[in-house]
C-alpha cells in the first residue's frame, strides 16, 4: 500500500498513516484467509511474511512515533493490547519487564525491556501475527532466529531468548545502546567520514561471518546496523536471509529488500548471491558519508529500481568534495552494476576500508 501511495502522491506523508492503519488489518485478514490456509499457495503468503523485519523500526517508511501516552489512542480501541505497543509498557513478558517502546513497524514492534533475572537491558521484537491462526508465520520467525543464532559473531546482534506471549511470537536480543547507523545519520548534519569507515569495517566483519556460513543477508541498510555504547557496529535483522540449500522464502521472481539499497540483481536483473550484500553495503556507506541514499529524489518505486539497474554509480564526492577520493573508489567498487566487477567478498572491502581508516588516523 505504501508503494501504491508513493506512485500516486509521491513521498509517503504523515496523513497517509491513518489510512494505512485502517486498511492494513483488513487486507492482511483477507490475504490470510485466501492463502495461509492453503499449502499449495505458499509463494504469495511467504512473500507477505518476508517483508523487512521490524528491527529496522520502519523509520525509513513511516514517520517516527513519539513514545508518550497519547500515542496509544492512535491504535484504536478495536485492537487488542498485544497489538498496541504502548499498552505493553509496565507489563511483564516472562521474566522481562517492559519499560518503553523503541519502535513500530509493519509486522510488529520493538520494546525496551529489562531482564529481571540477569539484570540487563534487552530489546524485545514482537510479531503481532497470531500463530494459532497462521502456523507458517512461526516457521518464518524461527527461520530468522536460527539464522541469527548460527552466526555468533561479535559484529552480529546476539539472540538471548525466544518465546510466545498471548499467541504472539517474541525475540529477545541484545540492545544497541548507541542506536542504529540510521539514527546516527538522522541525528547529525553529517557523520564524520572516519566514523563511517569504522562502522563499515565492523559491518564487513559481521557480514563475512554470515557469508562463511553460506547466508545472504539481503537487507543491508543503515538501520540494520546496530551500534553499541562504545560505537561498535553489529549487523541485525536477518529476517530476509537466504540460507544454503533452501528455497527462497519470497518465491521465484519476488523482490525483497529495501529499495534504496537493493542491488541490480534484487531489482530483477539476475540471480542474487553474497555480492548483492556488498552492493547494499556500498549504498549504506554512501548514505553514511553524505547523509543521503545512493539515488535520492526518486519517490516512485519503479524509478528507484531502474536507477539501481541502469544509472551510473553515485559519487559521494559530488555531494561533498572534501571527502577523500578513496571513499568514492570504495563506493564505486562495492556498487558496480555487474557483480563480477565488485569486491568479491567482504574482506576485500574491509581491507580497503582499513587502509582508509589508517589515513583518517594519520590526519587526526
List the catalytic residues: 219
φ and ψ at residue 66, rounded to 5 degrees: -65, 140
Q: Which three cell numbers stand for residue 359?
A: 589515513
Beta bridge partners of 112: 100, 123
Cα-Cα-Cα-Cα torsion 252, 55, 132, 161, nearest 10 degrees, comes to 120
Per the CB < 8 A criterion, the answer to whether 188 and 198 are in contact is: no
- Enter the DSSP assignment of 222: G
320 closest CA partner among 310, 311, 331: 331
157 closest CA partner among 234, 221, 270, 256: 234
φ and ψ at residue 196, rounded to 5 degrees: -60, -40
φ and ψ at residue 60, rounded to 5 degrees: -85, -5
- Enter the DSSP assignment of 270: S
CA distance 177 to 174: 9
Q: Which three cell numbers stand for residue 285?
A: 556507506
CA distance 43 to 178: 37
φ and ψ at residue 22, rounded to 5 degrees: -75, -40
65 Cβ contact partners less than 8 Å away, ≥ 6 residues apart: 71, 74, 101, 103, 104
CA distance 356 to 325: 10
Whats the size of the chain, residue-wise? 364
Amino acid at each position: 500500500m505504501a508503494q501504491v501511495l508513493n506512485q500516486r502522491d509521491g513521498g509517503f506523508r504523515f496523513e497517509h498513516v491513518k489510512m494505512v492503519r485502517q486498511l492494513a488489518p483488513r487486507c492482511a485478514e483477507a490475504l490470510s484467509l485466501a492463502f495461509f490456509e492453503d499449502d499449495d499457495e505458499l509463494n504469495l503468503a511467504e512473500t507477505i511474511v518476508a517483508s523487512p523485519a521490524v528491527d529496522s523500526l520502519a523509520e525509513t517508511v513511516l514517520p517516527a512515533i513519539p513514545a508518550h501516552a497519547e500515542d496509544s489512542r492512535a491504535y484504536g480501541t478495536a485492537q487488542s493490547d498485544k497489538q498496541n505497543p504502548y499498552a505493553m509498557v509496565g507489563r511483564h513478558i516472562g521474566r522481562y519487564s517492559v519499560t518503553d517502546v523503541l519502535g513500530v513497524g509493519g509486522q510488529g514492534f520493538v520494546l525496551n525491556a529489562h531482564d529481571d533475572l540477569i539484570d540487563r537491558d534487552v530489546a524485545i521484537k514482537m510479531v503481532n501475527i497470531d500463530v494459532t491462526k497462521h502456523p507458517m508465520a512461526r516457521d518464518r520467525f524461527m527461520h530468522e532466529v536460527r539464522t541469527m543464532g548460527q552466526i555468533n559473531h561479535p559484529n552480529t546482534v546476539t539472540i538471548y531468548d525466544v518465546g510466545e506471549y498471548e499467541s504472539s511470537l517474541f525475540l529477545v536480543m541484545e540492545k544497541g545502546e548507541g542506536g542504529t547507523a540510521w539514527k546516527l545519520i538522522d541525528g547529525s548534519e553529517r557523520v564524520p567520514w572516519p566514523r563511517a569507515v569504522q562502522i563499515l569495517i565492523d559491518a564487513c566483519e559481521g557480514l563475512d561471518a554470515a557469508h562463511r556460513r553460506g547466508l545472504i543477508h539481503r537487507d543491508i541498510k543503515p538501520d540494520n546496523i546496530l551500534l553499541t555504547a562504545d560505537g561498535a557496529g553489529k549487523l541485525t535483522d536477518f529476517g530476509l536471509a537466504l540460507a544454503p540449500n533452501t528455497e527462497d522464502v519470497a518465491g521465484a521472481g519476488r523482490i525483497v529488500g529495501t529499495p534504496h539499497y537493493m542491488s541490480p540483481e534484487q531489482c530483477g536483473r539476475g540471480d542474487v548471491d553474497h555480492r548483492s550484500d556488498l552492493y547494499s553495503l556500498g549504498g549504506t556507506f554512501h548514505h553514511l558519508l553524505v547523509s543521503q541514499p545512493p539515488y535520492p529524489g526518486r519517490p516512485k518505486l519503479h524509478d528507484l529500481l531502474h536507477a539501481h539497474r541502469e544509472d551510473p554509480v553515485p559519487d559521494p564526492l559530488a555531494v561533498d568534495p572534501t571527502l577523500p577520493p578513496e571513499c568514492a573508489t570504495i563506493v564505486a567498487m562495492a556498487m558496480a552494476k555487474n557483480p563480477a566487477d565488485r569486491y568479491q567478498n567482504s574482506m576485500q572491502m574491509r581491507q580497503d576500508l582499513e587502509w582508509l581508516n589508517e589515513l583518517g588516523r594519520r590526519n587526526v
